Amino acid sequence: MASNKQVILRDYVTGFPKESDLVFNDATVDLSVPAGSNKVLVKNLFLSCDPYMRIRMGKPDPSAAALAQPFKPGQPIYGYGVSKVIESGHPDYTKGDLLWGIVGWEEYSVITLTPYSHFKILHTDVPLSYYTGLLGMAGVTAYSRKGETVFVSAASGAVGQLVGQLAKIMGCYVVGSAGSNEKVELLKNKFGFDEAFNYKEEQDLNAALKRCFPEGIDIYFENVGGKMLDAVLLNMKLNGRIAVCGMISQYNLEEQEGVRNLSTVIYKRVRLQGFVVSDYYDKYSKFLEFVLPYIREGKITYVEDVAEGLEKGPSALIGLFHGKNVGKQLIVVARE
């Protein structure tokens, strides 16, 4: 038996989550897999902090419950992580293997493998933590074509920074928004965006978008929702597309902001499509084939915001909703 510290959801969260909504539990774990089981016991190395986790902290929503299972009060929360196999009852994995996928926020997890639930990490010449973010999501570029104008919100975040760089590789004109001047500098100088603005310093988001996109937006990669979406709708081009990846500005509101400019989609023939990355995991190996060379050549860069230790988990997760993270927020549980 070994000790196994866990991060537990105290109760369903209303409004912005507080650190006190997450409590620690000193559990123990049997460091073996029962004989005959095909489960895998892993030691968790890195955990990912992602905005969608807020949706799982709320009360079950009857209209979405089947799609986004909420966390259970009294139980450890869970999310994407990078882990090392300690013992395996599964034929595809053996002791010492590395994998990424959904694990508990705890030092050790016992996981059940289902198709595309976890991925073995075969390339370790890039930072292992990248598999919580940069190399942990796929398919996000399918929407952009050479010469198109692309707008990304929450552009310095885990997804945004990658979307922007991939769109640049595809030959697009790319603009990002973020919530501090430090982040805007990153967008322009580190990630190579053509333009960027701090949405907190703009009096009028519509005017900011018109300044950056005098001819309008072909593709909007939506991470925030609310007022930004309303301003974007006024600036979409004919036949524009909106890929809805997330709406972080709305997750903590008891009543969501109303989006008022939706009728513009009619004359502009705009397509708005929600998507969830797990639908594209069958393309993960193709994605790796595409993106790894760019990382190795330094043509794609990645900024991470690293919290050291599971005990920093709650504040790191909560910080997301106040824009405290610069780049991909992750937690180091263990270095090996």
Query: Given the rule CB under 8 A, which residues bind a copy of itself?
Result: 55, 63-64, 67-68, 225, 229, 234-235, 238, 244-247, 250-251, 255-276, 279
Structure tokens at 36: 């005959």
Cβ closer to a copy of itself: 17 or 225? 225
Minimum CB–partner distance for residue 48 and a copy of itself (Å): 18
Concatenated DSSP letters for 66-131? TTSPPPPTTSB-EEEEEEEEEEE-STT--TT-EEEEEEESBSEEEE---TTTEEE----SS-GGGG
3-state secondary structure (DSSP) of residue 178:
strand
Minimum CB–partner distance for residue 225 and a copy of itself (Å): 6
Minimum CB–partner distance for residue 279 and a copy of itself (Å): 7
Minimum CB–partner distance for residue 171 and a copy of itself (Å): 26
278 CB contacts (<8 Å, ≥6 apart)?
A: 116
Measure the CA–CA gap between 166 and 200, rounded to whole angstroms: 26
Cβ closer to a copy of itself: 187 or 233? 233
**CA 108 to each of CA 16, 49, 96, 130, 194: distance values in angstroms, whole numbers, following the listed order:** 28, 18, 14, 20, 43
Amino acid at 96: G
**CA 133 to each of CA 81, 86, 332: distance values in angstroms, whole numbers, following the listed order:** 9, 23, 13
Residues pairing with 217 in the sheet = 236
Answer positive or negative: Cα dihedral of 69, 75, 79, 83. Answer: negative
Measure the CA–CA gap between 76 and 103, rounded to whole angstroms: 10
Minimum CB–partner distance for residue 196 and a copy of itself (Å): 23
Cβ closer to a copy of itself: 96 or 214? 214
Cβ closer to a copy of itself: 82 or 152? 152
Measure the CA–CA gap between 72 and 85, rounded to whole angstroms: 26
Cβ closer to a copy of itself: 62 or 96? 62
Beta-carbon neighbour count of residue 198 at 10 Å?
17
Residue 186: DSSP 8-state = I
Instruction: Give the position of tokens 């866990």.
Output: 6
Structure tokens at 64: 């979405």
Minimum CB–partner distance for residue 330 and a copy of itself (Å): 22
Cβ closer to a copy of itself: 135 or 247? 247
Minimum CB–partner distance for residue 269 and a copy of itself (Å): 5
**Cα angle, residue 257 at apex, residues 153 and 244 outer, rounded to 5°:** 40
Cβ closer to a copy of itself: 227 or 324? 227
Minimum CB–partner distance for residue 27 and a copy of itself (Å): 30
Cβ closer to a copy of itself: 114 or 263? 263
Cβ closer to a copy of itself: 93 or 213? 213
Minimum CB–partner distance for residue 322 and a copy of itself (Å): 19
